[in-house]
Amino acid sequence: MITLTHYMVLSGILFSIGMLGVIRRKNLLMLFFSTEIMLNAVNLGFVAVSKYIGDLSGQMFAFFIIAVAASEVAVGLGLLVLWYKRKQTIDLDSLQSMKG
Amino acid sequence: MEKYVYLTLFAPLAGSLFAAMFGMSKKNLITGIVTSALLFVSLFSSLMLLGYVDEEHIVKVNLFDWISAGNFDVSFGFIADQVSVIMMVTVTTVSALVHVYSIGYMDHDEGFNRFFSYLSAFVFSMLVLVMSDNFLGLFIGWEGVGLCSWLLIGFWYYKKDLPREIYPAISPSWAANEAFIMNRIADLGMLIGLFLIYWNVGSLNYDVVFKNIPNVDISIVVLIGIFLFIGAMGKSAQFPLHTWLADAMEGPTPVSALIHAATMVTAGVYLVVRANEVFSLIPNVGMFIASLGAFVAVFAATMALVNNDLKKIIAYSTLSQLGYMFVAAGLGAYWVALFHLMTHAFFKSLLFLGAGNVMHAMNDELNIKKMGGLYSKMKWTAILMIIASLALAGIYPFAGFFSKDKILEVAFSEHAYILWFMLWIGAGLTAFYSFRLIMLVFFGEERYKRFGFHPHEAYAFMLWAMAPLGVLAVISGFFEHSFKEYVTAILPDYEAHIEPHIVGYVLIALTLTMALSGILFAVYKYSRGGFSKKWEETWIYKLLFNQYYIPQLYEKFITKPYAELSKIAWKDIDLKIVDSTVDFIATTLYDAGDKSRVIQSGNLSKMLRWMAIGLIVLLIAAII
């Protein structure tokens, strides 16, 4: 039987993977993937809890997050393409024009 | 009548502001004329008040409420009663004439307009001092005249500092600062006196204070009297705060005549007279005041005996005469003190203005040993100065005779025979040094020729400005009885009782003899070339010539240690403790910023890492 705990653990594991990606990866595209993973880990958690307590607002929130994430990725990828055209690289360390 | 009060008070202020508009520009005769004209307006209205004020008619005006905080209520109020009217008339008379005189005296000075602005501002402050109906207003005037005195002593502030060995007063700006600082010391005493009055009476209005002061504990009244007198000591240059007055002669001579002889320095006497209700409760303090006065009268006169500086001799005689006034005030004869204050103002300012003429003639030379025989060149100045000196020496029928003799009578009838004897000696000394000055300046060998001076008489209008003072120096003594009747309406009546009558006449004769013998001795000695050189080698001459070494003592035991102390406070305390603490805080912050600057690398992956760390920290914090 798959219980809420399983869902939450899976969500936690996914979030950690995403976070690790955010910290470790230098490729901007990979960074986007990692953030998507983190967002969807949270979505998973929302949906599971919503089903468990029988309240639909969690699932509604998940849809919102998907929509927002999609638009964010659209803008982000657009910028990324521009950046690549200018610099011929999407390495994170090249995005460094302000240094204290 | 209120309008006359306002006119008297504000005409000099208007003149001062008018002259101030031209302060930075070149000499403009109109400033001198306008300020003088306004001073005559002031004189006229104070004379109107003099005629109006009597027992039923005392003019009080309340300009506006000034400070009103809790129980403390002070308004800008002015009063024209008998005492203040007498002071107003004296002040405005002398200052109007000095203004006119100054037009001639400051003729070639660059700061002509500035001078008149300061001089009128001084008159305004002095009038605030004497007309205020409360102690706080008096204190404002008191500080105002101090400020104007500072401005005017240091009028030629650009003159260089010289060591004391070469030049006793060092420089005008030094002298101005000395005067200002000495007065601040005394003003602290005065302020404490005012605080004590307020704490114990709850008001600073003369009426309220004098009505309630008998109910105050006597030990407090003694303290009030002492502290008020400390204030008076500073302004009136009584020992030990006297050194500034002689150095104040660095200012232009009309200033010496107006401020440092006739008006400002008598403010201390005015304070004691005004607060007579306080001082008459505490005869012991009064006795102390009188003793100090008698001491100063002789002490200053001895210094005047040997000095060679034209203006300093007159300055010491001012000190000495202030001592006489304090004797009268201390012994309870307030109207006598006020009377001597008035007559002294007339003849002493005349003496100073005459000295100004001599200085002009001699290209600002002050050493009387370089003068002599000036009578033939400046006859009218000489005559006016001789009149003033006769009045100062107290020869009948000149003004000084009446007032000074009255003081001696007071001392005798109070059984203060020692004081009487000191004053008697002082009278002889006064006569001697006054005529030593006259003889050395106007008669004898014409020594100025050796030094290449070409003396000339002053402008005629300057002499005309001096003439009224000359007339007053002769006749003002005859107003004794009407003066007494006028002021004793509010001052305690005092009549010297000397029994039997014949003793009184003997005393007058003794005093006159003393004064005459002083004069004759001076005339005799200096018509034969003065004292021998050997006299100048004696220790007593040196002691007197160096003013009892008091300026040197002050410098050695007060000024220098204080300068050392300030240096320690600056170099050790301020720089090493205060400054370094502040610097430490600043450098710590600066270093911390410098160290943590590397965090702001602009590198996104590092920032993301920091963000993750922050998130974890916050999560942990939230869980705990």
- Across chain B, what does the average pLDDT equal? 88
pTM of the model: 0.80
The reply to whether A2 touches chain B by the CB within 8 Å rule is no
Higher pLDDT, B444 or B119: B119
Residues of B in contact with A26 (CB under 8 A): 605
Q: Smallest Cβ distance to B608: which of A23, A98, A100?
A: A23
Which pLDDT does position A11 carry in this prediction? 94
φ/ψ region of B171 (left if φ > 0, alpha if ψ in -120 to 50, else beta) reads beta
Which pLDDT does position B589 carry in this prediction? 95
Which pLDDT does position A5 carry in this prediction? 92
Outline where A1-100 has alpha helix (H): 4-24, 28-53, 57-87
Q: How far apart are CA B335 and CA B270, in angstroms?
A: 11
Residues of A in contact with B605 (CB under 8 A): 23, 25-26, 92-93
Mutation to test the A interface, candidates B596, B597, B606, B608, most A Cβ within 10 Å: B608
Which pLDDT does position B540 carry in this prediction? 82
The reply to whether A87 touches chain B by the CB within 8 Å rule is no
Q: Smallest Cβ distance to B602: which of A22, A25, A97?
A: A97
Q: Smallest Cβ distance to A99: which of B601, B605, B609?
A: B601
Q: How many contiguous H segments (helices) and E segments (strands) does chain B have? A: 26, 2
Which pLDDT does position A99 carry in this prediction? 66
The reply to whether A22 touches chain B by the CB within 8 Å rule is yes
Per-residue pLDDT of chain A (100 residues; tens, 9 = 90+): 888 999 999 999 999 999 999 888 888 889 889 999 999 999 999 999 999 999 999 999 999 999 999 999 999 999 999 988 988 888 877 777 766 5
Which of B390-400 are b and which e, b meaning 16 or more Cβ less than 10 Å from the residue's Cβ?
Answer: bbbbbbeebbb
Residues of A in contact with B606 (CB under 8 A): none
Mutation to test the B interface, candidates A89, A92, A94, most B Cβ within 10 Å: A92
Model confidence pLDDT, tens digit, residues B271-312: 999 998 889 889 899 999 999 999 999 999 998 888 888 889
* Residue of chain B whose alpha carbon sits nearest to that of A27: B605
Q: Which residues, numbered 30 to 69 in chain A, qualify as contacts with chain B under a Cβ-Cβ cut-off of 8 Å?
A: none
* Residue of chain A whose alpha carbon sits nearest to that of B606: A23
Higher pLDDT, A91 or B16: B16
Residue B247, pLDDT above cutoff 60: yes
Residues of A in contact with B598 (CB under 8 A): 100
In angstroms, how far is the first alpha carbon of chain B from the final one? 85
Q: What is the mean pLDDT of residues B520-531?
A: 83
Residues of A in contact with B609 (CB under 8 A): 23
Taking CA atoms, B543 is separated from B412, B515, B560, B611, in Å, by 31, 24, 22, 86
Q: How far apart are CA B39 and CA B358, in angstroms?
A: 26
Q: How far apart are CA B38 and CA B486, in angstroms?
A: 27
Q: What is the mean pLDDT of residues B179-184?
A: 91
Q: How far apart are CA B8 and CA B89, in angstroms?
A: 10
* Domains of chain A, CATH where assigned: 4-88 (1.10.287.3510)
Q: How far apart are CA B356 and CA A58, in angstroms?
A: 104
Q: Smallest Cβ distance to A92: which of B597, B600, B604?
A: B604
Q: How far apart are CA B363 and CA B451, in angstroms?
A: 11
Residues of B in contact with A19 (CB under 8 A): 612
Residues of A in contact with B597 (CB under 8 A): 100
Q: pLDDT class for B605, splitting at 50, 70, 90?
A: confident
Which pLDDT does position B202 carry in this prediction? 84
Q: Distance (Å) from the C-alpha of residue A95 to the closest C-alpha of chain B? A: 7
Residues of B in contact with A97 (CB under 8 A): 602
Q: Do B602 and A26 make contact, defined as CB atoms within 8 angstroms?
A: no
